[in-house]
Amino acid sequence: MLTVWGGLALGIVLLVFAWDLPRPEAALETTRRPSVTLESADGRLLSTSGDLYGETVRLRDLPVHLPTALLAIEDRRFRSHFGLDPLGLLRAAWVNLTTGRVAQGGSTLTQQLAKNLFLTPERSLRRKVQEAMLALWLEGRFTKDQLLEIYLNRVYLGGGAYGVDAAARLYFGVPARRLSVWQSAVLAGLPRAPSRLNPRANPRGAAERGAEVLRAMAATGTLTAAQAAAEAERIAFPPRPSRDSGWFADWVNEDLASRFPGSADLTLRTTLDLRAQALVEARLEALLAGPGAAAEVGQGAVVVLDAATGAVRAMAGGRDYRRGPFNRAVSARRQPGSVFKPFVYLAALEHGLAPDSTVSDLPLTLGRWSPGNGAWRARGDLPLEDALAHSVNTAAVRVLARAGGAREAAAVARRLGLAGPFPNDATIALGTGEASLLELTAAFATFANGGMRVVPHGIAAARADGRPVPAGLAAPARAVQPEDAAAIRRMLEAVVSRGSGRAAAVAGRPAAGKTGTTQDFRDAWFVGFSGGTVIGIWLGNDDATPMDDVRGGTLPARLFHDILEGLPRS
């Protein structure tokens, strides 16, 4: 009778624990977020988002040291237990009792698989009982090799990667079939704390855990102690070539849902040149930490763009992405100052003027407004080319009048890609509208490439679930007549060779560009080009506090010089 009542009580207890169990038949079904993988221009991994899955791998196709490493560190009696390991539970309880902390767990690999497939991370007696019940079901339904195969294809290994193939590609750039011994050990060590110990988040922790797995392999006899030590010495993760390409990645990811509708996994080959990106970051930080700090410059932004296509090769949206993801190259809209003047002069050329046409630089008053010329000493009449080269404000206002006024200048700016808003008065000649650095850099590409408007973009090619799909690239379109673009280019070359942008000049590399400075030195700009590369630079402070006499022709022009000097010729 006691046995009957005991069995009945046990049955009731099991029913209580099992009433909300998920369907175990769903073991091979997955529900996940589509992944987006960004690659640099040369194919190196840039970033991932969503749930990243690689190929489904079969146990027979994997190097034998991968499952061996996993079993050595996670479940040495996997082949002999029935899903639960009483000896392992007793050992873990003893270690935890003697150390006074939870130093070991007693879960088998099958229990871990049950938890990963069906259950939440909740820590409770109910969840542990359900985990055990599901482990028994899995052991009855699948062979040991099948369980190991399911585990290796489903286990979360950090960085958004599920399964050993996705993790191998993410961390080492190889498929799981080509993993070395030490790489297998690193992956086998990740299930304990995948977010905290993965090579991207914690290279040192990943290496230490990998060495621990190698020692466990030696303890089980699958490696000798000497082999384990030698493999541990080989553990090394290459440094990421760029610290702050997150701004570029965020910009590329902004409109993916509308550009690539559906739920397919996307792999996007971007336009980012990692060498150029690393150069931009290093030069920007060096300037901000040195002369920038002395001149009270707190922030900066840089865009490097291909003049012929609009492909963005590098983007720094600030000093350090990890301190804040706000992208000053894309999202910040500021007064461009005299960087806007080329659009005014282009409008004048389209109204019949030429670089050799003359304009007065004498003082000027319009109503109650009198634009100043800073330290410039009036000469009377001077060629338009000289007026732009030396950024003479009174001359620019007079050129605006001869170009048809503010509406004409705004129309030219919009035609070249600037969204505005722009004031409908003469102050527009001095850049009192609004623009982003990315807009200005792309607009200057029109002057560099002979008059074709380009749309700045970061995606060169796309694949959805492994199949090529259109990347939706906009073709360059004629926006300026070639002769007018050539005239503006000639005038911008004068800015660098003998005007306000002389600090931007690089020996042996002809360059063109325009300086810009807003009132009270709140913003300083230089946008220029050499060969087929356009570089846009902004320096300032997020709270718009003034800098110490920083003009477009000083630190921004110097930064242009430093970046151009380090880039290969295009």
Domain ranges within the chain, ordered by starting residue: 52-234, 274-457+472-566
Q: What's the half-sphere exposure (Cβ side, CA atoms, 13 Å) at 361?
A: 22
pLDDT at residue 566, as a whole number? 95
Neighbours of 119 (CB within 10 A): 16
**CATH number, span 52-234:** 1.10.3810.10
Amino acid at 177: R
3-state secondary structure of 452: strand
DSSP-H helix ranges across 177-224: 181-188, 194-197, 203-219
Q: Are strands 467-469 and 459-464 parallel, antiparallel or unpaired?
A: antiparallel
Rounded CA-CA distance 453/445 in Å is 7
Low-confidence residues in the chain, pLDDT < 50: 2, 4-22, 24-28, 30-31, 92-96, 101-105, 119-120, 124
Torsion of CA 559, 565, 569, 570, to 10 degrees: 0
Rounded CA-CA distance 361/395 in Å is 5
74 carries an active-site annotation: yes
Rounded CA-CA distance 330/518 in Å is 19
Residue 119: which of 13, 26, 16 has the closest Cα?
Answer: 26
pLDDT at residue 27, as a whole number? 44
Q: What's the half-sphere exposure (Cβ side, CA atoms, 13 Å) at 390?
A: 16
CB 300 within 8 A of CB 306: no
Residue 459: which of 169, 34, 36, 38 has the closest Cα?
Answer: 38
pLDDT at residue 47, as a whole number? 80
CB 246 within 8 A of CB 325: yes
In Å, what is the CA distance from 457 to each residue of 28, 312, 451? Answer: 39, 6, 18
In Å, what is the CA distance from 347 to each residue of 4, 93, 276, 563? Answer: 98, 82, 34, 31
Rounded CA-CA distance 514/500 in Å is 8
Structure tokens given for 53: 């899955």
Neighbours of 483 (CB within 10 A): 11
The catalytically annotated residue of 35, 40, 242, 338 is 338
Strand partners, 302: 316, 537
pLDDT at residue 539, as a whole number? 98
CB 91 within 8 A of CB 129: no
Look at the chain and count its residues. 570
For 450-560, list the strands marked E by DSSP.
452-453, 459-464, 467-469, 477-478, 512-517, 523-530, 533-540
Specify the CATH architecture of the domain 274-457+472-566. 3-Layer(aba) Sandwich (3.40)
pLDDT at residue 10, as a whole number? 40
Residue 71 burial (CB < 10 Å; 0-12/13-18/19+)? buried
Residue 317: which of 438, 413, 433 has the closest Cα?
Answer: 438
Strand partners, 506: 509
> What pTM was computed for the model?
0.77
pLDDT at residue 160, as a whole number? 79
pLDDT at residue 17, as a whole number? 42
CB 261 within 8 A of CB 300: no
The catalytically annotated residue of 35, 47, 74, 436 is 74
